[in-house]
Amino acid sequence: DIVYVSISGFGENGPYAQKPVYDPIVQAFSGLTTVQAGADDRRPRLIRTVLPDKLTAVTAAQAIAAALVGRLRSGKGQHVRLAMLDAVLAFLWASDMGAQTYVGEQVSQRTAASFIDLIYETANGFMTVAVMTNKEWAALTRALECPQWLEDSRFVTPALRDQNIDARLEMTQEVLKTRTTEAWLARLEAAGVPCAPVLTREQVIAHPQIIASGILLESEHPTAGRLRQTRTAARFEAPTVIRHGAPHLGEHNQEILSELGIARETIEALRRRWLIGAEVPR
């Protein structure tokens, strides 16, 4: 009744099944580097976080929980298989593989995704602004003091604004350059326009919203010192605590092997022969 998950790079079958794999290999092979390039004919680009590695971990956690639900219902465990490549493809499909979704229909290669331009330069830095609905568009024209944009025939519907995206983003950029990020955030927030400052990593941990949300937890690690980490993203009704830090190699040998019913003398013998890692004293 064990739930067991095997994780592979390319899957367990096929010509690539035995190939060694690192995160960028999966990025290149899955189409993710083409997606990041924006169009098929541009230079492919890597995502600069190990997305395949980490997404596979999140997907594995979901699969384990689902298999545990299955076991609680049926009494039976199972062997679940997960490939990094599959995790990335399933992630990309809905939003980035539209041209590959309709079987047999020819669809020309994707043109550049436009939202790369939603990072705007201001008088003193960068910010982002994203408007979709007519109400948000009207609010933006007010906040930017450009009421004439509301009359512009290129921008009267969401579809037209999407079609004329280059003109729209350039015009928005020109206006945003004239004031500071702080000034624009105040104006845009007051008008109800979706916007945010672009934060660096150091700014993230100091921002009042991050502090209020409680996403960052501090804890004392016996050897590493005081650590700042995130709690689990989902908040369950039971409070989230960090019970202990990452264990040292072999730290829980005694505990786990005893639980499995292995005699203390056997554990000692394994340790003496260096077949299991030694515990590091706290």
- Of the two residues 1 and 202, which places its CB atom closer to a copy of itself in the complex? 202
Find where tokens 């939603």 sit: 118
Name 20's Cβ contacts closer than 8 Å, sequence gap at least 6.
9
Between the CA of residue 125 and those of 22, 114, 168, 201, what are the distances in Å? Answer: 35, 21, 20, 15
Nearer of residues 20 and 281 to a copy of itself, judged by Cβ:
20
Q: Tell me how far the alpha carbon of residue 105 is from its chain's centroid.
A: 31
Q: Are 111 and 41 within 8 A, CB to CB?
A: no
Instruction: Output 51 or 176, the one with its CB closest to a copy of itself.
Output: 51
State the minimum distance, in angstroms, from the CB of residue 270 to a copy of itself: 28
- CB closer to a copy of itself out of 88 and 253: 88
Q: How far is the CB of 246 from a copy of itself (least distance, A)?
A: 10
Distance CA 170, CA 228 (A): 40
Query: Shortest gap between Cβ of 94 and a copy of itself (angstroms)?
Result: 7
Q: Which CB atom, from 122 or from 253, has the smaller least distance to a copy of itself?
A: 122
Contacts for 179 with CB less than 8 Å, ≥ 6 apart: 122, 123, 187
Are the C-beta atoms of 191 and 141 separated by less than 8 Å? no
User: Between 224 and 256, whose beta carbon lies closer to a copy of itself?
Assistant: 224
Our CB check for a copy of itself shows the closer of 121 and 268 to be 121
Q: Which is nearer to a copy of itself, 119 or 256 (CB)?
A: 119
Neighbouring C-alpha atoms within 13 Å toward the C-beta of 139: 18
CB of 257 to a copy of itself, least distance (A): 26
Nearest to 17 by CA among 79, 61, 81, 63: 81
Minimum CB separation of residue 155 from a copy of itself in Å reads 18
Amino acid type, 74: S
- Which residue, 54, 44, 50, 3, is CA-closest to 23? 50
Please report how close the Cβ of residue 118 comes to a copy of itself at its closest, in angstroms: 5
Min dist CB 67 to a copy of itself, Å, is: 7
One-letter amino acid of 262: I
Minimum distance between the CB of residue 271 and a copy of itself, rounded to whole angstroms?
28
Give the separation between CA 205 and CA 233, rounded to whole angstroms. Answer: 16
Distance CA 50, CA 65 (A): 23
